[in-house]
């Protein structure tokens, strides 16, 4: 009785499973589907061209031995490579490629497999990532030594060090570091990656911003290489994604990240995320993705207290080889309380002013620079705050602003709230619409166009814009 393709491949898998690591088996063999068997030729379907290349470069020897056991000396392998269809058709494109191993038995007898492996090309172009030996994109200056510990960040720093000591092997997976602007989220994320690379040089570590990740995904859709994009990220041992809140409203990117996250987590790989808000406060992120963010540890970075601010300033001065009187350090620490970035900015300005103008470090110079920083620091605005200001200006409540009423003055107030939310916050259009009465991104875009047009043609409306601008920005 003749065998079927499924039977042959099942028997091959039994042999392969005993001879490759479990992670490699689950990643590279479980997704394969047997298609047909024609005599001694077995055709298998793989999900992408990158997948096919990886099998040929790394696993052809074991596949070859398994096929010979099942089909004899003349066994041959053919790949059906599934291409991603970006035009909405239900019928995927398939291209057929024979294995480079045309005569397995003959080659088995006469050719020894070299121990060295060829380097695969990346499935898509990433600046700085041209080979499978992936550049981590980490900044070595952002390390644990230069990250000053205090009460405001002790939990996050300790969790980060635990992850660096045993990536993927702690309960802190994923590790989500969240907090306001300039508090050290990116620094700490880099520090974890740098420490892992030092302790585990063979591990593949990659740092990437969520915006770049999104752009790469969009490019993969355009170039018909979505599966290659997925398989590339599934090879990472430690994935660090910065500013994950920017995935808000991007359903396609969230979906692909969901599958990448699942694969990495299930295979004991480490995921590190940063965000400007806790998972519970994230808008327009799918529930299934948020639930995974909560699997590990969410560690908050808070504003540094006075003692920590002193330590940060002293550490910065020490690293720069600069001596500064204690009274100046104390003055800066007392008056710059918002974030680490501004503290270091004042020090940089002090050093620049003193060297360029040949001045000494004095308290008067510190006062001048601190005053400028405090004056130029813009108030961080939220969509909620903007809605409250606009509602108060038009003498209505926020619920009315968000309602579905089509009364002209309410509609205009709602459109102005959307306009200022887009202009003064980093929220996506989808996130703004969701927070202002569950509207979609198209409604927000339309509102912004209406406000622009009315500002040019309606004198009274222009007054609304000017007065609200003053209330929100001064």
Task: Tell me: do 207 and 78 sit in the same domain.
Answer: no
Task: Tell me: do 165 and 261 sit in the same domain.
Answer: yes
CATH code where residue 80 lies: 3.30.300.180
Residue 126, token pair as written in the block: 């990433």
Task: Tell me: do 331 and 462 sit in the same domain.
Answer: no
CATH code where residue 430 lies: 1.10.1750.10
Task: Tell me: do 183 and 57 sit in the same domain.
Answer: no
Res 123: pLDDT: 37
Res 115: pLDDT: 35
Residue 175 has pLDDT above 90, yes or no: yes
Q: Kindly write down the DSSP assignment for every residue of 35-69, as one continuous string.
A: EEEETTEEEEEES-HHHHHHHHHHTHHHHHHHHHH
Cα separation, 153 vs 160, in Å, equals 11
Q: Using DSSP, state whether 463 is helix, strand or coil.
A: helix
For residue 460, tell me if it sits in a domain: yes
Which structural domain, as residue segments, surrounds residue 192? 154-301
Res 283: pLDDT: 75
How many domains in the chain? 4
Last residue of a domain, one of 301, 322, 343: 301
Q: Which of 13, 42, 47, 20 is nearest to 31 (CA)?
A: 47
pLDDT mean over 181-205: 91
Q: Using DSSP, state whether 309 is helix, strand or coil.
A: helix
Res 130: pLDDT: 39
Cα separation, 469 vs 17, in Å, equals 65
Task: Tell me: do 74 and 192 sit in the same domain.
Answer: no
First-last CA distance in the chain? 85
Res 354: pLDDT: 72
Res 436: pLDDT: 93
Task: Tell me: do 327 and 194 sit in the same domain.
Answer: no
Task: Tell me: do 431 and 317 sit in the same domain.
Answer: no
**Average per-residue pLDDT in the chain?**
82
Residue 414 phi, psi dihedral angles, 5° rounding: -65, -45
Q: Which of 92, 11, 95, 81 is nearest to 44 (CA)?
A: 81
Task: Tell me: do 160 and 274 sit in the same domain.
Answer: yes
User: Do 207 and 136 touch, CB atoms closer than 8 A?
Assistant: yes
Cα separation, 337 vs 362, in Å, equals 20
Task: Tell me: do 178 and 269 sit in the same domain.
Answer: yes
Res 92: pLDDT: 57
Task: Tell me: do 217 and 296 sit in the same domain.
Answer: yes
Q: Which of 237, 232, 201 is nearest to 216 (CA)?
A: 232
For residue 140, tell me if it sits in a domain: no
For residue 149, tell me if it sits in a domain: no
Task: Tell me: do 159 and 296 sit in the same domain.
Answer: yes
Summarised one tens digit per residue, pLDDT across range 269-319 is 999 999 988 887 787 888 888 888 888 888 888 888 888 888 888 888 887
For residue 293, tell me if it sits in a domain: yes
- Helix orientation angle between 226-233 and 210-222, rounded to the nearest 10 degrees: 140
Last residue of a domain, one of 353, 376, 399: 376
Last residue of a domain, one of 343, 376, 409: 376
Task: Tell me: do 269 and 318 sit in the same domain.
Answer: no
Q: Which residue has the tokens 């929100």?
A: 472
CATH code where residue 344 lies: 1.10.8.60
Q: Which residue has the tokens 């001596």?
A: 323
CA distances from 320 to 18, 313, 317, 348 (A): 56, 11, 5, 10
Residue 124 has pLDDT above 60, yes or no: no
Residue 400 has pLDDT above 70, yes or no: yes
β 76-83/33-38 pair status: unpaired
DSSP class of 247: G
For residue 133, tell me if it sits in a domain: no
For residue 268, tell me if it sits in a domain: yes
């Amino acid at each position: 009785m003749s065998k079927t393709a499924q039977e042959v491949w099942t028997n091959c898998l039994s042999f392969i499973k005993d001879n490759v690591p479990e992670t490699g088996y689950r990643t590279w063999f479980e997704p394969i589907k047997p298609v047909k068997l024609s005599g001694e030729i077995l055709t298998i379907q793989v999900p992408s061209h990158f997948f096919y290349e990886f099998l040929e470069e790394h696993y052809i020897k074991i596949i070859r031995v398994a096929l010979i056991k099942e089909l004899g000396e003349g066994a041959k392998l053919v790949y059906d490579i599934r291409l991603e269809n970006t035009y909405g058709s239900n019928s995927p494109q398939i291209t057929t490629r024979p294995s480079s191993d045309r005569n397995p038995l003959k080659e088995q007898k006469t050719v020894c497999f070299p121990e060295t492996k060829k380097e695969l090309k990346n499935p898509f172009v990433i600046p700085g990532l041209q080979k499978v030996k992936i550049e981590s994109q980490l900044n070595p200056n952002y390390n644990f030594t230069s990250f000053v510990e205090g009460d405001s960040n002790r939990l996050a720093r300790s969790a980060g060090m635990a992850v660096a000591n045993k990536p993927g092997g702690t309960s802190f997976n994923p590790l989500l570091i969240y907090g306001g602007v300039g508090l050290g989220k990116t620094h700490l994320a880099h520090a974890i990656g740098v420490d892992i690379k030092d302790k585990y040089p063979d591990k593949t570590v990659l740092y990437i911003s969520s915006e770049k990740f999104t752009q790469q995904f969009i490019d993969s859709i355009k170039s018909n290489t979505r599966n290659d994009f997925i398989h590339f990220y599934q090879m990472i041992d430690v994935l660090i994604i910065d500013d994950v809140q920017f995935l808000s409203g991007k359903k396609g990117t969230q979906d692909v990240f969901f599958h990448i996250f699942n694969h990495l987590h299930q295979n004991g790989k480490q995921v590190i995320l940063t965000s400007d808000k806790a998972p519970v406060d994230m808008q327009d992120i799918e529930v299934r993705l948020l639930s995974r963010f909560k699997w590990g540890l969410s560690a908050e970075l808070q504003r540094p207290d006075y003692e920590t601010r002193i330590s940060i300033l002293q550490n910065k001065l020490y690293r720069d080889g600069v001596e500064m009187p204690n009274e100046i350090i104390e003055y800066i620490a007392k008056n710059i309380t918002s974030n680490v970035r501004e503290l270091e900015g004042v020090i940089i300005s002090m050093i620049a002013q003193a060297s360029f103008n040949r001045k000494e470090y004095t308290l008067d110079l510190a006062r001048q620079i601190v005053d400028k920083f405090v004056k130029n620091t813009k108030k961080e605005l939220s969509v909620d705050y903007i809605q409250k200001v606009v509602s108060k200006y038009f003498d209505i409540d926020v619920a009315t602003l968000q309602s579905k009423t089509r009364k002209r003055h309410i509609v205009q107030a709602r459109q102005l709230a959307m306009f200022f939310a887009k202009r003064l916050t980093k929220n996506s259009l989808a996130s703004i619409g969701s927070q202002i009465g569950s509207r979609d991104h198209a409604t927000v875009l339309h509102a912004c166009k209406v406000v622009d047009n009315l500002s040019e043609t309606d004198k009274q409306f222009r007054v609304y814009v000017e007065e609200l601008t003053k209330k929100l920005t001064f």
